[in-house]
Amino acid sequence: MSAFKAVVIDKTEAGQSVGIRTFDEADLMDGDVTVRVSHSTLNYKDGLAITGKAPVVRRFPMIPGVDLAGTVEASSNPDFKPGDAVVLNGWGLGETHLGAYAERVRVKGDWLIPLPQGLSPRQAMAIGTAGYTAMLCLMSLERHGLQPSRGPAIVTGAVGGVGSVAVALLAGAGWHVIASTGRPEEADYLKGLGAAEILDRAELTGPSRPLAKERWLAGVDTVGSTILANVLSMTKYGGAIAACGLAAGMDLSGSVAPFILRNVALLGVDSVMAPRELRLEAWGRLARELDHDKLAAMTSTVPLEGILEAGKEIVAGRIKGRVVVEVGGS
């Protein structure tokens, strides 16, 4: 098959155009492994790329999509052979390298990991970068020495992809989870994932005080900006917040007081360039520790043709949980 279906973003005088069209294999980028994509997923970054709301795409034309699960079709990389089931997250896919919203990709084998045992391709993409990032956050908090017996954990943007998985993972690890959201109507959904308390986002949106009443020991922040500043001001002595998102902005107009008076740590978590060893550990733990029923409860599915509208919805804050994109599989 030299031609295949793909979502393609092109640059125009007005900004960009996006649509589904036929793409030729000869136009794929360099790499030593060709993968037949069965499933992808929708992340906030994918929505930004599709809508052009932020400069995610760095070259044109671009096929968006930062995650994939599929089967190796051809390989000159010694670690992979035709027929291998694989997963890819990040590494510039959908930004600088043609991405996953296509029936075929060519990538560097160093970017791939084997599909974790115990997960189907669809489940792997229900997890996707969002769930993988949530696990990296949990691992970061654990490396900092934090334990559930010492206090609760907060998750901001809890209804979103990272937030939903973070709630489930933290609850599964024994944490008392406080789920912060601006969508109180989703309280039952969050409690079904394991949240013990629901916190109205409005409590975290005002100007932050240098130090506020201590409320949680740990946290996963997917939002940034003023909300992160407030979360830090309310973190208990010796606690830490793993920050992995910036949906509300890249600014952090808080105070150094939590860091130098309460020994609070801000732990930055990156998923795009994380080394292979860390990826393998995170995905192995996801396969073992993430409740499959909770994963199913937070997941919806769209066909490749549905990703354009879904991209608009996630940027508008109207997507709940995780979205699997069926590219070439069921």
Site of tokens 């000159």: 76
pLDDT beyond 80 at 8: yes
pLDDT beyond 60 at 39: yes
pLDDT beyond 90 at 15: no
The residue type of 7 is V
Cα distance between residue 107 and residue 77, in whole Å: 10
Domain with CATH 3.90.180.10 in the chain: 3-115+298-326
Cα distance between residue 43 and residue 36, in whole Å: 21
Q: What is the pLDDT of residues 111-158, one digit of tens each?
A: 999 999 999 999 999 999 999 999 999 999 999 999 999 999 999 999
DSSP state at residue 111: G
Got the DSSP string for 217-279? EEEEESS-HHHHHHHHHTEEEEEEEEE---TT-S-----SHHHHHS--EEEE---SS--HHHH
Adjacent-strand bridge partners of 33: 75, 107
Cα distance between residue 142 and residue 139, in whole Å: 5
Q: Is 307 helix (H, G, I), strand (E, B) or coil?
A: helix
Domain with CATH 3.40.50.720 in the chain: 129-268
Q: For residue 287, give Cα distances in angstroms to 43, 104, 117, 180.
A: 20, 25, 7, 26
- Please, which residues have CB within 8 angstroms of residue 90's CB and are 6 or more apart in sequence? 66, 111, 129, 271, 272, 273, 274
Cα distance between residue 104 and residue 129, in whole Å: 19
Does the domain at 129-268 match CATH 3.40.50.720? Answer given as: yes
Which CATH number is correct for 3-115+298-326, 3.40.50.1970, 3.90.226.10, 2.160.10.10, 3.90.180.10? 3.90.180.10
pLDDT beyond 60 at 176: yes
- Please, which residues have CB within 8 angstroms of residue 13's CB and are 6 or more apart in sequence? none
Cα distance between residue 276 and residue 285, in whole Å: 14
The mean pLDDT of the chain is: 95
Residue in 86, 88, 115, 110 with CA at minimum distance from that of residue 99: 88
Q: Cite the DSSP H helix spans in the chain.
A: 44-51, 121-143, 161-172, 187-193, 225-233, 257-261, 276-289, 292-297, 307-315
Asked whether the beta carbons of 87 and 22 are under 8 A apart, the reply is: no
Q: For residue 277, give Cα distances in angstroms to 33, 69, 125, 289.
A: 20, 19, 20, 18
Cα distance between residue 209 and residue 258, in whole Å: 10
Q: What is the pLDDT of residues 252-262, one digit of tens each?
A: 988 999 999 99
Q: What is the pLDDT of residues 223-262, one digit of tens each?
A: 999 999 999 999 999 999 999 998 888 899 889 999 999 9
Predicted confidence band of residue 1 (pLDDT cuts 50, 70, 90): low
